[in-house]
Amino acid sequence: MAADGQRIARQRIDLVAGNPDIWVDDLARGTRVRVTASDEPDMLPVWSPDHTRVAYVNGNSPGRPGRRRLAIAAADGTGVLRTIPCPAHDGDYCEPTDWSVDGKQVLVNVLSAKSRS
């Protein structure tokens, strides 16, 4: 939930594509905005300190093969602002967990594929 307590970012399954995308619900207005519409799963959104962006992981979940990326999208649904490869080795899993106070950096947890085998 955003710090203002008015909006929540979450992943919802797209019933047509069968994978999760990121949505933002405005609880005060009762509206919902689709933030992502990727062919790959978009998961685990984390709000930026100014509540204008969400960071999330794009790609397969832990234990499934495939590339994973970190992405940052505008919370108002106007598009993905940046996508970068996970700061890990191929097969490792990463996910955003927080932002720096100034909103310039995203804290990322990495799970090594070697530690899961």
DSSP the chain: --TTSSEEEEEEEETTTTEEEEEEEETTTTEEEE----SS-EEEEEE-TTSSEEEEEEEPPTTS-S-EEEEEEETTSS-EEEEEE-SS-TT-EEEEEEE-TTSS-EEEEEE-HHHH-
pLDDT confidence tier of residue 39, bands split at 50, 70 and 90:
confident
Domains of the chain and any CATH numbers: 7-116 (2.120.10.30)
pLDDT confidence tier of residue 64, bands split at 50, 70 and 90:
low
Residue partners of 116: CB distance under 8 A and separation at least 6 = 62, 63
pTM here? 0.85
